[in-house]
Each structure stands twice: as C-alpha cells, then as structure tokens.
Structure 1
C-alpha cells in the first residue's frame, strides 16, 4: 500500500473553494487523467465543497493522486463536524434535496466514483470518500484478504511528512510497520524513510528482530518511535513489539485490546530486553495504528456502525475527531477477512 501524503485544506469561507477546485483540476490533469475523467472529478469536488458550505459551513478536504494494485487513482475525503445527514439512504436518491436544489450531489458522487462511501452521525458530522482511477489495471485479479486504509497528513506548513508506514507480505504472514521520526520536517522524514527501507529488506518474522534490525540501520538519523505488528498465518496469532509512543489497538467486534510499547528511541536507545506481545487471531478483526499526531483517548464505540465501513473511512473518522494539527498525523486501519 502506497503511503503518499494527503494534501489538506481547511474550508471556512466560500471564496476559498474556487482556488481548491483549480488546484485539484490542475493536479489530475497533470497526472494524466483524461478530459472526461477530469470533468467527472471536477463535478465530485464541486458537489463535495458545495454540500460542505451549505450544510456544515466549515470542514476539511484531504486529497492525493497515488497508486495501488489496480493502478493510478485520485482520492478525496471531505470531513465536517456538522449536524450529520438525516436519512442517508433517501438523500442518496436523485431528486431528493434538503436545500431546494436538484438533489443530485450525493448520487452524482456515487455514480462518478469507482469507489465511494459515506459515514455520518447526528451532531457528529460526516465523512465522505471518493476514489477515481485513471484506468483500472487489467492485471488486477482478486481482492486482498486484508483491506487497508490510511490517512497521512503533514505538520501544517511542511511539504514532507515525518510519519510513515509500510505493509509487507511474507510467506508465513504479513507485517505492519508504523513509524514517527522525532520532531517533524526533513530530518524526521529521513529517519522514518530509512526505517521503512530497513523494514523492507529485513527477513526476520519476529517483531523484536525486525525492530533491532531497524535500530541498527537508523543510527545515523535523528531516530524515531516505531511499532511492528506481525500476523502469523501458521500459528493464527498476532505478535507485536514497539518502542516509543505509537498507538496500536486490535478490535474484535466492539472489544478492544491495546498494545503498550516500551520506552526509548529507535536508533538511539532501546531496551536490552524486548518481548513480543501475543494476541489471538479472530475473524473480522481490525488493526488500528497511529502516530502521536492523533489523540489517544478515543473509542470506536462512540461512533456506532463505524466498524461496518471500509478501513479508509475508519481512518478518516479517527483523524477527523483526534488530529492535533501540531505535528505530522498518520493513522491506518487494516481489516482482516481471513
């Protein structure tokens, strides 16, 4: 899964919308999207921003051009803390409106997107997601048994992110890394990128050994905090080990288990003795990991129905409610469908 950073724009004035529309139009045009696709994306962005101004007045847009196993795509999140959408299924129908308009906004977003989703709650707000592929690769064959979603945003004013994550498939299972370089800016970015490179090349399966390998390979950098989670297919267990304040939570239904990492800094000082924390693999679990750019006092129980949604909606909802906006901010969710 690619971890390209999302561009973030706060919208609190209607006059700012035209600038954002132009920025996105130029981005997708320059990324090779056809004029027809660009026109469809223009409509999606117009509907999102129009609804945001009408019903919530303020909010945030997150967007990027990136790629996955299906090909190059444009994706956008629209987040607000408004009153929520009443009777969502009815509002998705064309011709239905609560503001004396044609009522084509939500329906148009769904039709023009290759993937879209909405999560809303009364007096909590709304998360709207849309994804449009340049062209879906013919090489794509089957869905992944592990669905992933992430939101990664820079410290305000920075152009590189000091957070990073990577997912690595192995013959015996799958490994997840979440890292946060100390501070923010280019030095933090270099530290986490060195850690990701070391993670990619490491052939150990145990999170302890992976962390030690990363530690030895990032000593010339500023250092970072990091957690490695390993899903072992053969034993049907999770193994986790981390150093520093990365938050890791494993949900089984509404039951949550938190992993507590060791104190220290990867690349500078880690404990001599490290032990893996072991958790059982169960059906329909959701793994959530995030940097300290998000607050830690959250519980998905406070968002009824969120676990029925795709991981990208879960990640965006957590970002909406918990982003500190005084550091790099990254959260990812992984749904296990084994």
Structure 2
C-alpha cells in the first residue's frame, strides 16, 4: 500500500519539535545513515520553522518515499502565505523576509537530494524535499497526497501507482463514507489493482469491481499513460474527477455512474491525447472540481507531487476525505 504519511499543522513552536522527533524516528526506521539523518534534521527544522515564522496556515507532510528497493524521506511543506515572486532570490543563503530566516532556503536545497517548489504571490507556496540514503533516483512520473476528514485519523481515500509489463498505471479510490470501513474498501481496491495482471484500464476496473464486492464499495478510476502513443487511457466508476492540464487549459475525462464492488451499468475506456508538457490530475470528491490551472502559472510543468499538493491546498475540503494524484508521460 502507498505510504500516506502524517500531516502536521504548523501553528506553534512545539509542533516544530514534534516534526523533528517524528523525522528522526522515520529516518531510524528506514536505516538512514547518521550523516543523512543529520541532513534530514536540518531540512525538517528549516521547513517547519519557516512555515511557523512566515505563514498563518502552514502544513507539513512527512512520509517515506520509495524507488525500487531504496527508501528515502519526503517532506512536503504547503502554505497559503504571501508566496514568492522571485524564487531564485529566496533560495540564496542569507535572504530573509522578516529578519528571522537567516540562512535562507538555500540550506534546505543543499542538504536534500531533490527539491521542487511552486509559488504564486498571494496564493502561497508548495515546497517538496526528498532526502535519500545515497544517490538520488530519477523524479517520479506520478505522485499523490491524501488527507482524512477533520476528526478522523485514517482516510477513506487511497491511491496506487504501478508499472506492470511496461504499462504505467494509476488508480484513485474513494471508499463510501468515512472512517475504517471506507478505508477498508479503498485499500481492498488498492490491493486488487496492485496484484492484477497487466491489462488495460477497463479490464483492470472490471477485476477490481469483482474483487471488492465484500466491502461497502468505492468510487474508482484507473488511468494508463502511454508515452509511445501519446495518450491517456481512462476508465472510471463514480465521482472520481479526471483532468488533463496543460498551461492554462484543462480537459475533463469521463467517469460513468456506479459503485465499484456493487453497482455498475457498464465499464468503458476512453482515450485522450496528452503531450509531454501536460499532466493528468485525478481526485476524489473531497476536492472541489472548480480549480483552474490559469490561477497557477507554471503549475502544469511542476513535479507531480507539487501539482497534487497545490490542488489539495486550494480545492480540498475539510468535511470529507480527500485524495489528489498527478502524473505525466513517463520518460
């Protein structure tokens, strides 16, 4: 199952210490070296400290990240603060917006294996950082974030990303309702998807539909990104939204009515052209489908994790579980 991680709301100094301790525990569980654990500690302290000093609504996601058999740590700092018009200036050591930042975001970049940032003045910033035990792998072609409804510790939404016999496929599942039973449905869908044969999305959806009939069911969508053909193959049941964004434009994808595991009239697959400069975005109904890429200059060319985090920040609702996944054509 995908590692969903832990969200922290950075609203007081004690949370910064909590993040630091949680980061140390995660590094230990992944057997990171003493040097990389120390680097990670600097990154976590700076990210959390900057959120506390410069924003009012900052959150930080801490989770493991994997590439093959290698595991690292990812931190995702998201805020609705003033944003940064000149990213290069903010990345220089010594730059400060309030006289308190001191060493600047450049220190974070130096300690990390991989970073990406997207910022819009007046809307806020999303900053992704990964620390790996040794060599940094190629950036991921797909990534997602989930968040439970307010008051719950577990999300009823889930996702999975896989490469099966050369097929690059992703899935988003929204278990009906909230809490443990919804999570059981979406996680059953994830397990079925992960272990299914390498077949096209409609056939995959049919398999998952049959295999999760013992659960309360889920809204479900599966996509396959075919770089050679330049298409996204897409099949969905229920209210999972699929969108292709490029620059300021967006195109919606079709999901049919139904509940995977229980009710379905038909399962169909649709092909949509996609270019190298575009990205696929899928999300559950815990995300309002009124966001517009034109409000986020450069977002469609950002890394998938920053696309997912930015959409979650501005379109996710607290009264429902939420999941956002973004993907691009693989290299």
Could you tell me the TM-score, scaled by structure 2's length?
0.90
Q: Which residue of 2 aligns with 1:126?
A: 125
The correspondence for 1:316, drawn from 309, 319, 322, is 309
Is contact 2:50-2:101 (8 Å) kept? no
* Equivalent of residue 187 in structure 1, options 158, 181, 185: 181
Distance 1:275 1:153, change over 3 A: same
List structure 1 runs of 4+ shifted beyond 4 angstroms: 232-236
Q: Distance in 2 between matches of 1:129 and 1:283?
A: 22
* Residue correspondence of structure 1 range 94-109 to structure 2 within 5 A: 94-101=93-100, 103-109=102-108
Q: Which moved more, 1:22-31 or 1:212-221?
A: 22-31
Q: Deviations over 1:101-141 (max 9, x none)?
A: 4731301000000011221111111111111013348xx6x
Matches of 2:168 and 2:22, distance apart in 1: 37
Decide which moves more: 296-305 or 207-216.
207-216
How many residues are matched? 331
Aligned to 1:39: 38
Change over 3 Å in CA distance of 1:233–1:317 after alignment to 2: closer
CA RMSD of aligned residues (A): 2.4
TM-score, normalization by structure 1: 0.89
Distance 1:194 1:103, change over 3 A: same
Matches within 5 A, 1:292-331: 292-331=285-324
Q: Distance in 1 between matches of 2:82 and 2:227?
A: 43
Q: For 1:102 and 1:190, how far apart are their aligned partners in 2?
A: 43
Q: Do the aligned residues in 2 keep the contact of 1:153 with 1:329 (CA within 8 Å)? A: yes
After alignment, is 176-185 or 12-21 more displaced? Answer: 12-21
Aligned to 1:80: 79
Quick one: distance in 1 between partners of 2:275 and 2:294? 19
- Runs of 5+ in structure 2 lacking a partner? none
Paired residue secondary structure (2:154):
coil
Contact 1:219/1:268 (8 A) holds in 2: yes
Query: 1:65 is matched with which residue?
Result: 64
Q: Secondary structure of 1:324's partner? A: coil
Shift of 1:321: 0.9
Spell out the pairing of 1:228-243 with structure 2 (5 A cutoff): 228-232=222-226, 235-243=229-237
- For the pair 1:270 / 2:264, whether they are aligned, the reply is yes
